[in-house]
Structure 1
Amino acid sequence: MAKVLYITANPKAENESFSLKLGKGFLDKYKELNPQDEIIHLDLYQMDLPYLDADVFSGWGKLAKGEGLTEDEQRKVARINELTDQFVEADKYVFVTPMWNFLFPPRMKTYIDTICIAGKTFKYTEQGPVGLLEGKKAIHLHASGGVYSHGPAQDLNFADRYIHAVMNFIGITDVTTVVAEGMAAQPDQAEAILKDAIAKAQDAAVQFAK
C-alpha cells in the first residue's frame, strides 16, 4: 500500500476550476486502480501553512544554539517539521495547480518552502546538495488559460519547470506533467480541451498507479 499526497492550490470550488477538474479525473482513475492506497488531500488554501518568516529563522537559530523559543517560534517551527515529515513519509505526490501570472498560486510556493529542508529532503555535501527522496514519484496536473507548452509563450510557464526543478533537487526524478491549456484563448473549445486533458491524465494515472 502506497501513501499518496494529493496537493491542491486553488481557492475556487471544483466546478469553477479547470485544474481541480483535471485533478479529479486523474484521482478517480487512480483510486479505481489502487483502492488500497492511502490518499491524503492537502488543500493548501484550507490548512495552516506557515511562511518562512522572522519567527521561523530566529527559531531555527535558537535551536542550533540550544536556546528556548518563543511561543510563535515554537508553533511555526513545529508545524514546518510536521509538514516536512509528512512529505518524507509519502511515496507519491500529486501537485494540482492553475497558472497565475506564469507561475502557480503563492500557497504552493509557501508549501514547497516547508518541505525543502536540509537534512530531511536534501543534504549538503562537498560535491553540492544531494536529494534524499530517491525512488519516489510525482506528477504535476496543471491548467492554464493560454497555451504555454509551445509557441511564442513557451518560455513563460515557470510553474511546471519549478515543480520539476524542486522535485529533482530533493531526489525525485520520476516526474510527469499533464496540462490542460488554452481554455481562455479558445473558450468555444474549452470543454473539449479539458476532456482531452482528463483522458491524458487518466492514462498517466495508469502508469502512476504502478
Structure 2
Amino acid sequence: MPKLLHIISSPREDASKSVQIAEAYIENRKRAVPTLEVDTLNLWSLDMPEFDGDKAAAKMTFFGVGEMDDTRQTAWDQVVALTEKFKSYDLFVFSVPMWNGGVPYKLKQFLDIITQPGLLFGFDPIKGYFGLLDGKKATLVLTSGVFAPGADEKYGKDFHGEYMRWWLGLVGIQEASILRFQPSLLTADPDADLKAVLGELEPA
C-alpha cells in the first residue's frame, strides 16, 4: 500500500492557497489510487528538536571530526527517529508558500534536521554528494503573492522553488512535479484564478 505524506509549511491553515491546492491534488490522487494511505505533517504543530551543538557535533563525526560519545548519540537518536519516520513514505507533497523569496523557516528547520549524512545523502570526495532516497516521488505546491516565474526582478527572486528542487535532487528524489499558483495576489481576479487552478486538478 503506497504511503503519502503531506508536509504543510504555511501557518494560515484553511486560508492557505498552497494547502488548498495540495489537498485538492491529494484528493485527486486518492481517487486514482484508492489504496493510497495519506498522512499530514503540519510543521507548525510539530515539536521539532533544535539542531543544537550536540547534534551538529554528532553529524560531524560522520566526516571524521570528533567522536560519538553518549551525549552526542542521544542527540543524534532524536534526528534519526524523525528522519526514519520521513523515509517510511513513498510519496511526498510539500505545500510551500514563498516567504521573503525563500521557504518558511519551519520548513527550513525541518529539512535541516532530517538532511543528514548516512540518512538522506552520502558523500564521496570524488563523486561529491549523492542522494539515498531512491524510488521516492514528490510534488511541490509553490505559491507566492507577487513573484511569478519569468517576471521582472522588481517583483522578487526565486530562492523558493529553486531551493526545493535542489534539495530534492540532493536527497535523491529525481521524480518530482510542480504545481504553481504564482502570483496569487497580483492579478485581476485572484479568486477566479485559484478556482481555475483547483478545477484543473479535478478528474476529467
Name the counterpart of 1:135.
135
**Structural RMSD (CA):** 2.4
In 2 relative to 1, CA 183–128 (structure 1 residues): closer, same or farther, beyond 3 Å?
Answer: closer
Equivalent residue, structure 1, for 2:21: 22
The alpha carbon displacement at 1:67 in A equals 2.1
Q: Secondary structure at the match of 1:46?
A: coil
Letter in 1 for 2:169: N
Residue by residue over 1:51-74, the C-alpha shift from the partner in whole angstroms, topping out at 9 and shown as x without a partner, is: 32223224556896342218xx83
Identify the residue that residue 195 of structure 1 maps to in structure 2.
Answer: 195
* 1:4 and 1:39 in contact (8 A); partners too: yes
**What does 1:90-101 correspond to in 2, within 5 Å?**
90-101=89-100
The question of whether the paired residues in 1 share the 8 Å contact of 2:147 and 2:156 is answered with: no
1:193–1:82 Cα change, 3 Å: same
TM-score by length of 2: 0.86
Identify the structure with the greater helix proportion: 1
- Conservation of the 8 A alpha-carbon contact between 1:44 and 1:108: yes
Partners of 2:131 and 2:171 within 8 A in 1: yes
> Matched residues in 2 for 1:85 and 1:185: separation?
40
User: Which whole-Å deviations, capped at 9, do the CAs of 1:91-142 have from their partners, x for residues lacking one?
Assistant: 1111001111111210011111122111121111232111111221111001
1:104 corresponds to 2:103: yes
- Match for 2:70: what amino acid? G
Contact 1:178 1:201 survives alignment (8 Å): no
The 1:78–1:201 alpha-carbon spacing in structure 2 relative to 1, beyond 3 Å, is farther
The share of aligned pairs that are identical, in percent, is 25
- Does the CA contact (< 8 Å) of 2:54 and 2:71 recur in 1? no
- Report if the CA contact (8 A) 1:62-1:68 is conserved: no
Distance change in 2, residues 1:162/1:134 (3 Å): same
Name the residue aligned to 1:167.
Answer: 168
Unmatched runs of 5 consecutive residues or more in structure 1: none
State the shift of 1:155 in Å.
7.0
Separation in 1 of the partners of 2:12 and 2:186? 20
Asked if 1:82 is matched to 2:56, the reply is no
Is the aligned partner of 1:67 residue 2:69? Answer: yes
Match of 1:144?
144
What is the total number of aligned residue pairs between the two structures?
199
CA contact (8 A) 1:7 1:41 kept: yes
Q: Distance in 1 between matches of 2:183 and 2:70?
A: 52
1:130-187, CA deviations, whole angstroms, 9 ceiling, x for partnerless residues? 111122111100111113212214871211111110111111111111111223212x
- Structure 1 residues 157 and 62, CA gap change in structure 2 (3 angstroms): closer
Unaligned runs of 5+ in 2: none
